[in-house]
Each structure stands twice: as C-alpha cells, then as structure tokens.
Amino acid sequence: MLSLRGSILLSCFLQIAIFVGLLQYSGLGPKRIVYKPKYQVRLVTPAEVPALAKLKKPKPKKVAIKKPAKKKVALKKKTVKNPAVKKKAPPPKNAKPKPKPVPAAETATSNQVDEEAQQALEDALDRIRKKAEKRQQLAAADMAAAREAQAGWEKRQKEIQYHTYYNKVEQRVRRNWIPPQTLDRNQKNVMTIVAITLLPDGRLLKSVIEKTSGDPIFDQSVMRAILKSNPFSPPPIGLTQQDFELGLRFHSQPQAP
C-alpha cells in the first residue's frame, strides 16, 4: 500500500495530466495550420454547351377558350292600365302610423286607473293645502300674540315712566311747598287738587285749581310752590310729543291718605 505522501503525489500527477489533455483537446494548445483547396469558376452561356444547344424548345400548348352560354331572358308581359281603378296614394313620409285599436276592456281599465291616480293626486294636494292653511293660521296667531305682548310691554313701560316722572314732579313741588302757619293742626284734613300743564322742555304752561280746599291761604301756598318749582325736568320722550298734564294733590295732614 502507498503511503499518504505517495497518494498525494499520485493524485497531483493525475490531475495535471487530465488538465493538459483537456487543453490539447479544446484547442488551447499550439494552433494547427489547415490548407483549404482553391477553385476557379468561369460562367458560360447555354449556347456554348453543345448538349443544351441540341435540345428543342417546347412549343406552347393552345388553350381552348369556352364561350359563355347565352341565357334566355323571359319577357315581362305588359299590363294594361284600367282607368276605372284608381291607385291608392302613397302615405306621406312624415305621416304618423295609425294607432292600433285598443280593446274596450283595456280602455276601461286604463281609464279607471287614471281616475284613481287623479283622485289620489287631488287628495294629496288637498292635504297639503290644509296643512299650509293651518300653518298660516298658527303663524298669524303667533304674530298677533307677539304684537299684543309688544303693545302690552310698551304700555307697561309708559306707565312706569309716567309714575316715575309724576313722583319726580310731586317731590320737587313738595320740597318748595311751605304750608301756612295759620293752619290749625286740630282741624280736619283739607285737600287741594291742582292740574298743571308742562311743555316738552319742562317749562310750566299753566296751573289750575281743580278742587279747592276751602282755605284760600292753603290754596295760595300750593300755587306758590308750583311757581317756585318751575321749570321742571323735561317729560320722557315716549310719553308725549306735545303738552304734558299732571294732577297734584296736597293734604293739610301728610299722614292722611
């Protein structure tokens, strides 16, 4: 048996031998020179070849041309026009085709369906009309209630303004009023009612005693207080655009109603 070293050397030698053989077989080794034969050719005509000159040209064959067979044409018989028979005029091009007759049962059914549809449409329109009228009535009622509420609110505001201005004028006159010293405190309560008219700027236009107390001195003290309080503050614009009238009451006993 070979040793390990001998086996390796033998394997290397075999591989080198196989590689060299493959190189020679595949043409990678030294190139081989191949000599190819050369030929000279001369072109000749058919007349120069004796074998071809003896040959005769083939004669062309005659082709028989067939004539087409004559067809028999059947003559149409002429029809004699009868003047008594009138031809129907052709319908115009844009003429609409005549509608086909509809059976009576189908016509009655279609008419009934049309009537039912028309009735349903009228009922729907009637319901819509009633709803619209109801909405209009509700809207009108709401508008009337709103106007009434607005009028009531404006009236209430005017009343408040009137009472506020009345109290303001009365307080101004009472601050300037000096009751007479000759007035008997033990005497029963007496009252004087005075109507005053003010201009839009608050100036006093006139003052009139509508109800006297029966005591001229008491009445004169009230009139002096009104004249001393003139001019007053202008009345509110919303109350009046012209003269403004007030009625003032003066009691001899303030605790009296």
| Partners of 251 in the β-ladder | 191
Q: How is the chain split into domains, by residue range?
A: 106-257
CA–CA separation, 231 vs 199, rounded Å?
10
Reported confidence tier of residue 93, pLDDT bands at 50, 70, 90 = low
Reported confidence tier of residue 256, pLDDT bands at 50, 70, 90 = very low
Q: What percent of the chain has a predicted confidence (pLDDT) above 90?
A: 17
- 47 or 249: which leads in pLDDT: 249
Q: What percent of the chain has a predicted confidence (pLDDT) above 70?
A: 61
Are 53 and 60 in contact by the 8 Å Cβ rule? The answer is no
Q: Does the CA dihedral 137-143-147-152 come out positive or negative?
A: positive
**What integer is the mean pLDDT of 236-245?**
73
pLDDT tens track for 166-198: 999 999 999 999 888 876 666 677 889 999 999
Kindly report the average pLDDT of the chain as a whole number.
Answer: 77
Can you give the pLDDT at residue 118? 87
CA–CA separation, 160 vs 155, rounded Å?
9
Can you give the pLDDT at residue 88? 61
**Domain 106-257 fold:** 3.30.1150
Are 216 and 178 in contact by the 8 Å Cβ rule? The answer is no
Can you give the pLDDT at residue 79? 57
Q: Which of 1-15, 38-52, 129-143 has the highest mean pLDDT?
A: 129-143
- 139 or 181: which leads in pLDDT: 139
| DSSP string for 126-184 | HHHHHHHHHHHHHHHHHHHHHHHHHHHHHHHHHHHHHHHHHHHHHHHHHHH----TT--
Reported confidence tier of residue 153, pLDDT bands at 50, 70, 90 = confident
pLDDT higher than threshold 50 for residue 237? yes
CA–CA separation, 134 vs 118, rounded Å?
24
Reported confidence tier of residue 2, pLDDT bands at 50, 70, 90 = low
- 179 or 63: which leads in pLDDT: 179
CA–CA separation, 256 vs 95, rounded Å?
110
Can you give the pLDDT at residue 224? 93
Can you give the pLDDT at residue 213? 86
**What integer is the mean pLDDT of 40-69?**
62
**What integer is the mean pLDDT of 119-132?**
90
**What integer is the mean pLDDT of 135-162?**
85
CA–CA separation, 112 vs 120, rounded Å?
12
Are 161 and 234 in contact by the 8 Å Cβ rule? The answer is no
How many C-beta neighbours within 10 Å does residue 230 have? 16
Can you give the pLDDT at residue 171? 92
Q: What angle do CA 33, 37, 39 make, to 5 degrees?
A: 150
Can you give the pLDDT at residue 257? 44
